[in-house]
Homo-oligomer: A and B are copies of this chain.
Amino acid sequence: MTPDSLMPKNFNISSIKASCSSCGLRELCLPVGLDEQEIKALDHLLNQRHRIRRGEHLHRAGLDFHSLYAVRSGFFKTYVLQEDGREQVTGFHMTGEVLGLDAISTDMHTCNAVALEDSEVCEIPFVKLEEIGRTIPSLMHHLHKIMSREIVHDRGMLLLGGMKAGERLATFLLNLSYRFAKRGYSPLDFNLRMTREEIGSYLGLKLETVSRALSRLQEDGLIDVNSKHIRLTDIGRLRRQTGNSFCE
């Protein structure tokens, strides 16, 4: 794994196209040259859409696995409940990303997914996906890339282990920034959908530490914090702040 597992070291903001703008199909099929019939098969595969209101769950740990979900719009959090009742956040997921990949291994969802804002997803029955993938190799290959990317990202989280709170936060913000940019949103100016506590859980910090680290980054002039609204005012120094940058 290169150190850019969480973010390419020097992604060029302006060069990032809003490639997989809003649709699960796009995310799954963009790089593919398809004929009429294949497009039809895919349309059939991807025609189940669902609205998930803020606070509602998309799936819960322990439930049978049938479908992947491509986020068409909105924002999700995945988490597990530990024995002691504490909630451990395992990821944040935005437009164009795919949820449910972890469930393939056991045919059971291993985490809970809840919408942090009103969202729309595209349900992709996995059995059908594998079927169609047999006749459209590039689709199958693309699924493999998506799964692999997930592995790279999750593994990149290990790098946080060696970082201090401020570095973790910087890394987290840069990763969000990168992902917003990929989707055509501003990479320098965005709203956090999650609480400090959720960020802390994800990064292995307490919420007070998250708050302090953000305040510190602001003091140092790297970012501008207004509760949930974040502006990256010096992205260069923010990168250097991470020590070892890395993103998606």
Render A154-168 as a binary contact track against B, CB cut-off 8 A, 1 for contact: 110111111000000
Neighbouring B residues of A86 by C-beta, 8 Å: 162, 244
The answer to whether B105 and A130 have CB atoms under 8 Å apart is: no
Identity of the chain B residue whose Cβ is nearest the Cβ of A144 in the assembled complex? B104
Give the contact stretch, choosing among A23-31, A145-153, A219-227: A145-153
Q: Which residues of A contact B (CB under 8 A)?
A: 1-3, 5, 61-62, 78, 80-84, 86, 88-91, 101-106, 110-111, 130-131, 133-134, 137, 140-141, 143-152, 154-155, 157-162, 201-205, 243-245
Given contacts A83-B243, A83-B244, A88-B161, 13 further A-B contacts (CB under 8 A): A3-B80, A88-B158, A102-B152, A106-B152, A130-B137, A130-B141, A133-B140, A143-B144, A154-B154, A157-B158, A158-B204, A161-B201, A161-B203
13 A-B residue pairings within 8 Å (CB atoms)? A1-B90, A2-B61, A2-B62, A3-B80, A82-B159, A83-B244, A88-B162, A133-B140, A151-B154, A154-B155, A161-B202, A162-B201, A162-B204
